[in-house]
Amino acid sequence: MHDALVIGAGHNGLACAIHLAAKGWKVAVLEKAPVAGGAVKSAELTLPGFTHDLYAMNLSLFAGSPFFATYKDRLAAHGFALAPASDCFASAFPDGTWLGVSNDLETNLARIAALSQVDADAWRALSNDFPGDAPHIFGLLGSPMPSRQMAGVAWKAWRQKGTPWLLDTARLLAASPRDFLDRTFTHPKVKAMLATWGLHLDFPPDASGGALFPYLEAMAQQAFGMVVGKGGAATMISAMTGLLKELGGEIHTDAEVVAIETANGKASAVRLADGRRFEAGKAIVANAHPQLVFGKLLEERARPEAYTKKLARFRPGPGTMMVHLALDGLPDWAAGEALKRFAYVHLAPDLATMAATYAQAMEGLLPAEPVLVVGQPSVVDPSRAPAGKHVLWVQVRVLPAEIAGDAAGTITARDWESAKGAYAERVLDVVERYAPGLRGKILGRAVHSPADLERDDPNLIGGDSLAGSHHLDQNFLFRPVPGWSRYATPVKGLHICGASTWPGAGTGAGSGFMLGKMLAGA
């Protein structure tokens, strides 16, 4: 018998398992897929020698996480290595210009001042305040919700910063991207550059609660830079699985859990598709979408009716498509050679385009003008491609899970298997407008539609890479449902973690580490 069983070898499940094993628990991780990682995977998808990150590319949240701070040296001993980017993200605009954020305040101020001195002054003010604000904000994001730890963060912030700061921060947490950006900046290109970060987490410009991510990404990447995994994002998973095994933990791949069993009102065991059965003496942790846990895995007689009904109303975020390219050379950006240095190039020219794209996707339409996050990881980490060659990581934000129509009126297919090729061409058309000649550089491609994402990882329901919308009614105390934000469930001994729980999506390992500490007594 094991002390704990962890269902799902995504990074949150592994973080929980590692901490429990480090505290002396006997732990086994059970993963349906042939390899661990969940939405953090790397593979040669196109051609030999070209390593692509299937989903997550940016590991900055992991590098700045409490979990990494605790286990940094031990992960390094298992081969974990990062490649830093000092030119972090930029937006290219249709008029042949660009604006970007690098790991240098004065460089960023000069770029912004060329557009607006008023905005440069506002940027400096935010930058000056950030070092004093960041510990409190990140302390909140790194605390269980609610908890005595969270209350302590708020108390300390009040003692150091005062009531006005708390009110301003609460206002930021509730604001939409447009609210925050209109209040802070004047130039539309500055606003567009930052607002794109909202769509990384299903926040169009006018959705309340979406201001925090653009603010944090801009300030944190300026302060610390961006990092990607050396050799691919999967270096993180490889190191975590290595450390877990060193600590005595087990990891079983190709181990599909088909049932969570209960005994005397407590989660007690899991059964696999191949008939094997594992018992848990203390806890079962499901690093899985809670709708799958309570709609499929937990034996029906044990499902609490009220809780299960609430989970059924937990909304997904919009779908995502991934387009992976092996290239003969970097894109020749019309805006200039400087864009070839950036880890991310956003193609989202203004707030109106972002709002329209999101609205179309929510209506089930294929957006006429997709918002694109173009990753250039081989600029940061040349080991991902043969000498002189490159990989391009294109994330398409945002898309419908089920296709009701095409906003542009040209794609007639109504299922993703039939539509993904045509829509990928639309995506490449957009990139080509900003980087003429791109198609001539393509050596190989791999396209993953929202349906493909869910097929590869069932937690990505409808291709939602966020495992649930982060709008205010599903965030903070309400994630995944009100009253159950602390990873426990109404079934004794059954816990959940992952992107569907606080603090949500990303590579920060927050929910897994916090749950591990709660179960182990810190």
Residue 324: the pLDDT is 98
How far apart (Å, rounded) are the C-alpha atoms in residues 480 and 164? 30
Identify the pLDDT of residue 415: 98
- Burial call 164-195: b when 16+ CB within 10 Å, e when fewer: ebeeebeebbebbbbbbbeebbebbbbbbbbb
- What's the pLDDT score for residue 408? 98
Angle at 23 between CA 19 and CA 28, to 5 degrees: 60
Chunk the chain into consecutive blocks of 10 residues (it has 522) and report each block's average pLDDT, rounded to whole numbers: 98 98 98 97 98 98 98 98 98 98 98 98 98 96 96 96 96 98 98 98 97 97 98 98 98 98 97 98 98 97 96 97 98 97 98 98 98 98 98 97 98 98 98 98 98 97 97 97 97 98 97 98 92
For every residue of 84-117, DSSP letters joined together read EESEEEEEE-TTS-EEEEES-HHHHHHHHHTT-H
Taken in order of first residue, the domains within the chain and their CATH numbers are 2-40+57-81+232-314+468-520 (3.50.50.60), 104-224 (no CATH)
Closest CA to 189 of 96, 89, 93, 285: 93
Number of other CB atoms surrounding residue 300 within 10 Å: 10
How far is CA 4 from each of CA 66, 245, 264, rounded to the nearest angstrom? 22, 15, 18
pLDDT for the residue numbered 133: 97
- Selection from 319, 317, 347 nearest residue 334 by Cα: 347
Residue 402 tokens read as 């089920």
Q: Which pLDDT does position 300 carry in this prediction?
A: 95
pTM: 0.97
Model pLDDT, residue 466: 96
Q: Which tokens is 270 given?
A: 């899991």
pLDDT of the residue at 30: 98
